[in-house]
Structure 1
Protein backbone atom coordinates (compact mmCIF):
# COMPACT_ATOMS: atom_id res chain seq x y z
CA UNK A 1 0.00 0.00 0.00
CA UNK A 2 2.76 2.47 0.92
CA UNK A 3 4.64 1.75 -2.32
CA UNK A 4 1.47 2.50 -4.29
CA UNK A 5 1.02 5.79 -2.41
CA UNK A 6 4.61 6.77 -3.23
CA UNK A 7 4.06 6.00 -6.94
CA UNK A 8 0.86 8.04 -6.95
CA UNK A 9 2.61 10.97 -5.25
CA UNK A 10 5.59 10.76 -7.61
CA UNK A 11 3.30 10.63 -10.66
CA UNK A 12 1.37 13.69 -9.48
CA UNK A 13 4.61 15.58 -8.79
CA UNK A 14 5.98 14.60 -12.21
CA UNK A 15 2.82 15.90 -13.89
CA UNK A 16 3.00 19.19 -11.97
CA UNK A 17 6.69 19.58 -12.79
CA UNK A 18 6.01 18.78 -16.45
CA UNK A 19 3.42 21.57 -16.63
CA UNK A 20 5.90 24.04 -15.13
CA UNK A 21 8.63 22.93 -17.55
CA UNK A 22 6.33 23.20 -20.56
CA UNK A 23 5.06 26.64 -19.54
CA UNK A 24 8.64 27.87 -19.68
CA UNK A 25 8.76 26.71 -23.30
CA UNK A 26 5.39 27.57 -24.82
CA UNK A 27 1.98 29.14 -24.15
CA UNK A 28 -0.60 27.21 -22.12
CA UNK A 29 -2.95 27.02 -25.10
CA UNK A 30 -0.34 25.07 -27.09
CA UNK A 31 0.38 22.55 -24.35
CA UNK A 32 -1.40 19.25 -24.86
CA UNK A 33 -2.05 16.37 -22.50
CA UNK A 34 0.32 14.33 -24.69
CA UNK A 35 3.05 16.96 -24.12
CA UNK A 36 2.48 16.76 -20.37
CA UNK A 37 2.57 12.95 -20.38
CA UNK A 38 5.74 12.81 -22.46
CA UNK A 39 7.51 15.37 -20.29
CA UNK A 40 6.36 13.70 -17.06
CA UNK A 41 7.09 10.23 -18.46
CA UNK A 42 3.64 8.97 -17.51
CA UNK A 43 0.85 7.42 -19.54
CA UNK A 44 -2.38 9.18 -20.43
CA UNK A 45 -4.27 6.88 -18.05
CA UNK A 46 -2.03 8.02 -15.21
CA UNK A 47 -2.58 11.66 -16.15
CA UNK A 48 -6.36 11.21 -16.25
CA UNK A 49 -6.34 9.36 -12.92
CA UNK A 50 -5.03 12.61 -11.39
CA UNK A 51 -6.64 15.34 -13.50
CA UNK A 52 -9.71 15.55 -15.74
CA UNK A 53 -7.88 17.73 -18.29
CA UNK A 54 -5.14 20.36 -18.53
CA UNK A 55 -7.52 23.02 -17.18
CA UNK A 56 -8.10 21.02 -13.99
CA UNK A 57 -4.32 20.64 -13.72
CA UNK A 58 -3.69 24.38 -14.03
CA UNK A 59 -6.59 25.06 -11.65
CA UNK A 60 -4.88 22.80 -9.11
CA UNK A 61 -1.58 24.65 -9.65
CA UNK A 62 -3.30 28.01 -9.12
CA UNK A 63 -5.01 26.74 -5.96
CA UNK A 64 -1.62 25.62 -4.62
CA UNK A 65 -0.22 29.08 -5.41
CA UNK A 66 -3.15 30.71 -3.62
CA UNK A 67 -2.53 28.57 -0.53
CA UNK A 68 1.20 29.40 -0.62
CA UNK A 69 0.38 33.09 -0.90
CA UNK A 70 -2.09 32.98 1.99
CA UNK A 71 0.49 31.15 4.13
CA UNK A 72 3.25 33.69 3.51
CA UNK A 73 0.88 36.60 4.13
CA UNK A 74 0.36 35.31 7.66
CA UNK A 75 4.12 35.13 8.28
CA UNK A 76 5.52 38.24 6.56
CA UNK A 77 4.87 41.97 6.31
CA UNK A 78 2.82 42.97 3.23
CA UNK A 79 5.66 44.79 1.49
CA UNK A 80 7.86 41.70 1.76
CA UNK A 81 5.07 39.40 0.53
CA UNK A 82 4.38 41.53 -2.53
CA UNK A 83 8.06 41.91 -3.35
CA UNK A 84 8.70 38.15 -3.04
CA UNK A 85 5.74 37.35 -5.29
CA UNK A 86 6.84 39.89 -7.89
CA UNK A 87 10.44 38.70 -7.79
CA UNK A 88 9.19 35.13 -8.30
CA UNK A 89 7.15 36.28 -11.30
CA UNK A 90 10.14 38.16 -12.68
CA UNK A 91 12.48 35.21 -12.09
CA UNK A 92 10.06 32.89 -13.90
CA UNK A 93 8.92 35.48 -16.41
CA UNK A 94 8.78 33.07 -19.36
CA UNK A 95 6.45 30.77 -17.43
CA UNK A 96 4.14 33.59 -16.33
CA UNK A 97 4.24 35.25 -19.73
CA UNK A 98 3.25 31.98 -21.42
CA UNK A 99 0.57 31.35 -18.83
CA UNK A 100 -1.09 34.75 -18.57
CA UNK A 101 -0.08 36.99 -21.46
CA UNK A 102 0.35 34.99 -24.68
CA UNK A 103 -2.89 33.75 -26.19
CA UNK A 104 -4.76 33.53 -22.91
CA UNK A 105 -7.92 31.48 -23.22
CA UNK A 106 -11.20 32.48 -21.60
CA UNK A 107 -11.00 29.39 -19.39
CA UNK A 108 -7.56 30.35 -18.10
CA UNK A 109 -8.62 33.96 -17.54
CA UNK A 110 -11.59 32.70 -15.53
CA UNK A 111 -9.32 30.44 -13.45
CA UNK A 112 -6.96 33.33 -12.72
CA UNK A 113 -9.88 35.60 -11.86
CA UNK A 114 -11.45 32.96 -9.60
CA UNK A 115 -8.15 32.40 -7.79
CA UNK A 116 -7.72 36.11 -7.03
CA UNK A 117 -11.42 36.46 -6.18
CA UNK A 118 -11.13 33.71 -3.54
CA UNK A 119 -7.90 35.24 -2.26
CA UNK A 120 -9.33 38.75 -1.83
CA UNK A 121 -12.65 37.44 -0.49
CA UNK A 122 -10.78 35.59 2.27
CA UNK A 123 -8.66 38.64 3.13
CA UNK A 124 -11.63 41.01 3.16
CA UNK A 125 -13.71 38.65 5.30
CA UNK A 126 -10.90 38.55 7.87
CA UNK A 127 -10.60 42.35 7.75
CA UNK A 128 -14.34 42.71 8.25
CA UNK A 129 -14.35 40.24 11.15
CA UNK A 130 -11.49 42.17 12.80
CA UNK A 131 -13.40 45.44 12.48
CA UNK A 132 -11.26 47.03 9.76
CA UNK A 133 -13.13 49.94 8.17
CA UNK A 134 -13.52 48.92 4.52
CA UNK A 135 -14.16 51.54 1.81
CA UNK A 136 -17.48 49.85 0.96
CA UNK A 137 -19.92 47.46 2.58
CA UNK A 138 -20.27 45.60 -0.73
CA UNK A 139 -17.80 42.74 -0.56
CA UNK A 140 -18.35 41.67 -4.21
CA UNK A 141 -17.50 45.18 -5.43
CA UNK A 142 -14.34 45.35 -3.32
CA UNK A 143 -13.25 41.88 -4.45
CA UNK A 144 -13.78 42.86 -8.09
CA UNK A 145 -11.86 46.11 -7.59
CA UNK A 146 -8.82 44.52 -5.94
CA UNK A 147 -8.77 41.48 -8.23
CA UNK A 148 -8.93 43.50 -11.42
CA UNK A 149 -6.48 46.09 -10.15
CA UNK A 150 -3.81 43.62 -9.05
CA UNK A 151 -4.22 41.29 -12.02
CA UNK A 152 -4.25 44.26 -14.40
CA UNK A 153 -1.12 45.75 -12.86
CA UNK A 154 0.79 42.46 -12.98
CA UNK A 155 -0.31 41.80 -16.58
CA UNK A 156 0.75 45.32 -17.57
CA UNK A 157 4.12 44.70 -15.96
CA UNK A 158 4.53 41.37 -17.82
CA UNK A 159 3.35 42.82 -21.15
CA UNK A 160 5.95 45.58 -20.76
CA UNK A 161 8.68 42.98 -20.30
CA UNK A 162 9.07 43.72 -16.59
CA UNK A 163 10.70 47.05 -17.51
CA UNK A 164 9.81 48.64 -14.17
CA UNK A 165 11.79 47.37 -11.16
CA UNK A 166 9.90 44.91 -8.95
CA UNK A 167 10.56 47.23 -6.00
CA UNK A 168 8.67 50.07 -7.69
CA UNK A 169 5.67 47.87 -8.50
CA UNK A 170 5.82 46.57 -4.91
CA UNK A 171 5.75 50.09 -3.54
CA UNK A 172 2.68 50.96 -5.57
CA UNK A 173 0.82 47.75 -4.64
CA UNK A 174 1.81 48.11 -0.98
CA UNK A 175 0.38 51.62 -0.90
CA UNK A 176 -2.85 50.43 -2.51
CA UNK A 177 -3.29 47.23 -0.47
CA UNK A 178 -1.35 47.83 2.72
CA UNK A 179 -4.31 48.50 4.97
CA UNK A 180 -5.67 45.02 4.24
CA UNK A 181 -2.85 43.52 6.31
CA UNK A 182 -2.65 46.07 9.11
Structure 2
Protein backbone atom coordinates (compact mmCIF):
# COMPACT_ATOMS: atom_id res chain seq x y z
CA UNK A 1 0.00 0.00 0.00
CA UNK A 2 1.08 3.53 -0.64
CA UNK A 3 0.91 5.54 2.63
CA UNK A 4 -1.32 8.61 2.63
CA UNK A 5 -2.48 11.10 5.22
CA UNK A 6 -5.55 13.12 4.33
CA UNK A 7 -6.05 16.52 5.93
CA UNK A 8 -9.63 17.66 6.14
CA UNK A 9 -9.81 21.49 6.16
CA UNK A 10 -12.41 23.22 8.24
CA UNK A 11 -14.40 25.82 6.25
CA UNK A 12 -15.24 27.82 9.38
CA UNK A 13 -12.12 29.88 10.12
CA UNK A 14 -13.50 31.03 13.49
CA UNK A 15 -12.88 27.61 15.04
CA UNK A 16 -9.55 25.80 15.17
CA UNK A 17 -8.88 23.22 12.47
CA UNK A 18 -8.92 19.62 13.61
CA UNK A 19 -5.64 17.74 13.76
CA UNK A 20 -4.83 15.65 10.68
CA UNK A 21 -6.14 12.11 10.90
CA UNK A 22 -4.86 8.92 9.36
CA UNK A 23 -7.83 7.40 7.54
CA UNK A 24 -8.16 3.82 6.38
CA UNK A 25 -6.20 3.21 3.15
CA UNK A 26 -9.22 3.29 0.83
CA UNK A 27 -10.59 6.66 1.98
CA UNK A 28 -7.92 8.80 0.32
CA UNK A 29 -8.28 9.29 -3.40
CA UNK A 30 -5.88 7.15 -5.45
CA UNK A 31 -4.45 5.52 -2.32
CA UNK A 32 -4.44 2.07 -3.89
CA UNK A 33 -3.47 0.94 -7.37
CA UNK A 34 -6.37 -1.53 -7.23
CA UNK A 35 -10.15 -1.15 -7.20
CA UNK A 36 -11.92 -1.49 -3.86
CA UNK A 37 -12.12 -5.12 -2.76
CA UNK A 38 -9.04 -6.20 -4.71
CA UNK A 39 -5.68 -7.27 -3.24
CA UNK A 40 -2.53 -5.58 -4.53
CA UNK A 41 0.61 -7.72 -4.85
CA UNK A 42 3.51 -5.33 -5.33
CA UNK A 43 5.97 -8.00 -6.56
CA UNK A 44 3.83 -8.58 -9.66
CA UNK A 45 2.27 -5.09 -9.92
CA UNK A 46 -1.09 -6.85 -10.10
CA UNK A 47 -4.48 -6.77 -8.39
CA UNK A 48 -6.31 -10.00 -7.48
CA UNK A 49 -9.87 -10.83 -6.49
CA UNK A 50 -11.77 -14.06 -5.86
CA UNK A 51 -15.19 -14.40 -7.49
CA UNK A 52 -17.15 -17.13 -5.71
CA UNK A 53 -19.27 -20.07 -6.94
CA UNK A 54 -18.49 -20.27 -10.62
CA UNK A 55 -17.83 -22.63 -13.49
CA UNK A 56 -15.23 -22.05 -16.19
CA UNK A 57 -17.38 -19.84 -18.42
CA UNK A 58 -18.94 -17.75 -15.65
CA UNK A 59 -15.59 -17.29 -13.90
CA UNK A 60 -14.00 -16.01 -17.10
CA UNK A 61 -16.98 -13.75 -17.83
CA UNK A 62 -17.10 -12.34 -14.28
CA UNK A 63 -13.41 -11.46 -14.50
CA UNK A 64 -13.90 -9.76 -17.87
CA UNK A 65 -16.84 -7.72 -16.54
CA UNK A 66 -14.44 -6.49 -13.83
CA UNK A 67 -11.90 -5.46 -16.53
CA UNK A 68 -9.69 -8.39 -15.56
CA UNK A 69 -8.71 -11.87 -16.71
CA UNK A 70 -8.50 -15.18 -14.95
CA UNK A 71 -5.12 -15.20 -13.19
CA UNK A 72 -2.03 -16.43 -15.01
CA UNK A 73 1.00 -17.90 -13.25
CA UNK A 74 4.55 -17.49 -14.52
CA UNK A 75 6.85 -18.48 -11.64
CA UNK A 76 7.01 -20.50 -8.43
CA UNK A 77 6.71 -17.21 -6.50
CA UNK A 78 3.53 -16.25 -8.32
CA UNK A 79 2.14 -19.77 -7.82
CA UNK A 80 2.73 -19.37 -4.07
CA UNK A 81 0.94 -15.99 -4.08
CA UNK A 82 -2.05 -17.52 -5.90
CA UNK A 83 -2.11 -20.36 -3.39
CA UNK A 84 -1.96 -17.93 -0.44
CA UNK A 85 -4.77 -15.81 -1.91
CA UNK A 86 -7.02 -18.81 -2.47
CA UNK A 87 -6.63 -21.00 0.60
CA UNK A 88 -9.12 -20.76 3.45
CA UNK A 89 -7.39 -22.91 6.04
CA UNK A 90 -10.30 -25.38 6.07
CA UNK A 91 -9.07 -28.70 4.67
CA UNK A 92 -11.03 -30.16 1.76
CA UNK A 93 -13.38 -27.18 1.57
CA UNK A 94 -14.01 -27.60 -2.17
CA UNK A 95 -10.34 -27.07 -2.79
CA UNK A 96 -10.80 -26.14 -6.43
CA UNK A 97 -9.98 -22.62 -7.52
CA UNK A 98 -10.19 -21.77 -11.21
CA UNK A 99 -7.47 -19.69 -12.81
CA UNK A 100 -6.61 -18.81 -16.39
CA UNK A 101 -5.08 -21.91 -17.98
CA UNK A 102 -7.06 -23.21 -20.97
CA UNK A 103 -6.44 -26.30 -23.12
CA UNK A 104 -5.96 -25.40 -26.79
CA UNK A 105 -5.62 -28.85 -28.37
CA UNK A 106 -5.64 -32.61 -27.74
CA UNK A 107 -2.09 -32.88 -26.36
CA UNK A 108 -1.20 -32.73 -22.68
CA UNK A 109 1.05 -29.75 -23.45
CA UNK A 110 -1.52 -27.77 -25.47
CA UNK A 111 -2.30 -24.98 -23.00
CA UNK A 112 -2.50 -21.18 -23.01
CA UNK A 113 -3.28 -18.40 -20.55
CA UNK A 114 -6.62 -16.66 -21.05
CA UNK A 115 -4.87 -13.26 -20.79
CA UNK A 116 -2.66 -14.07 -23.81
CA UNK A 117 0.60 -14.11 -21.82
CA UNK A 118 3.17 -16.86 -22.54
CA UNK A 119 2.55 -20.35 -21.12
CA UNK A 120 6.03 -20.48 -19.56
CA UNK A 121 5.52 -22.15 -16.18
CA UNK A 122 3.57 -25.16 -14.89
CA UNK A 123 3.04 -26.77 -11.49
CA UNK A 124 0.98 -29.85 -12.30
CA UNK A 125 0.14 -32.34 -9.56
CA UNK A 126 1.60 -35.83 -10.09
CA UNK A 127 -0.16 -37.51 -13.03
CA UNK A 128 -1.61 -34.25 -14.36
CA UNK A 129 -2.74 -33.13 -16.85
CA UNK A 130 -4.54 -36.39 -17.49
CA UNK A 131 -7.67 -35.78 -19.53
CA UNK A 132 -8.19 -34.48 -23.04
CA UNK A 133 -11.76 -33.56 -22.02
CA UNK A 134 -10.68 -31.19 -19.25
CA UNK A 135 -10.06 -27.72 -20.66
CA UNK A 136 -9.65 -25.59 -17.52
CA UNK A 137 -7.07 -25.55 -14.72
CA UNK A 138 -7.67 -25.50 -10.99
CA UNK A 139 -5.24 -25.13 -8.10
CA UNK A 140 -5.50 -27.30 -5.00
CA UNK A 141 -5.87 -24.72 -2.25
CA UNK A 142 -7.27 -26.52 0.80
CA UNK A 143 -6.20 -30.14 0.75
CA UNK A 144 -4.86 -32.58 3.32
CA UNK A 145 -2.34 -34.18 0.95
CA UNK A 146 0.88 -32.11 0.92
CA UNK A 147 1.95 -33.78 -2.35
CA UNK A 148 -0.73 -31.81 -4.19
CA UNK A 149 -1.00 -28.62 -2.12
CA UNK A 150 -0.63 -25.60 -4.46
CA UNK A 151 -0.39 -27.97 -7.44
CA UNK A 152 -2.54 -27.83 -10.58
CA UNK A 153 -5.14 -30.18 -12.04
CA UNK A 154 -6.85 -30.09 -15.42
CA UNK A 155 -10.59 -30.05 -14.83
CA UNK A 156 -13.80 -29.69 -16.78
CA UNK A 157 -14.80 -26.09 -17.43
CA UNK A 158 -18.45 -27.09 -16.90
CA UNK A 159 -17.86 -28.26 -13.33
CA UNK A 160 -18.43 -26.03 -10.32
CA UNK A 161 -15.46 -24.32 -8.71
CA UNK A 162 -15.42 -22.72 -5.27
CA UNK A 163 -14.09 -19.54 -6.84
CA UNK A 164 -12.27 -18.00 -9.78
CA UNK A 165 -9.20 -15.84 -9.24
CA UNK A 166 -9.25 -12.67 -11.34
CA UNK A 167 -6.15 -10.60 -12.06
CA UNK A 168 -5.64 -7.13 -13.51
CA UNK A 169 -2.64 -4.85 -13.82
CA UNK A 170 -2.24 -2.31 -11.04
CA UNK A 171 -2.97 1.30 -12.00
CA UNK A 172 -0.63 3.99 -10.71
Higher strand share: 2
Structure with higher Rg: it is: 2
TM-score by length of 1: 0.28
TM-score by length of 2: 0.29
Higher helix share: 1
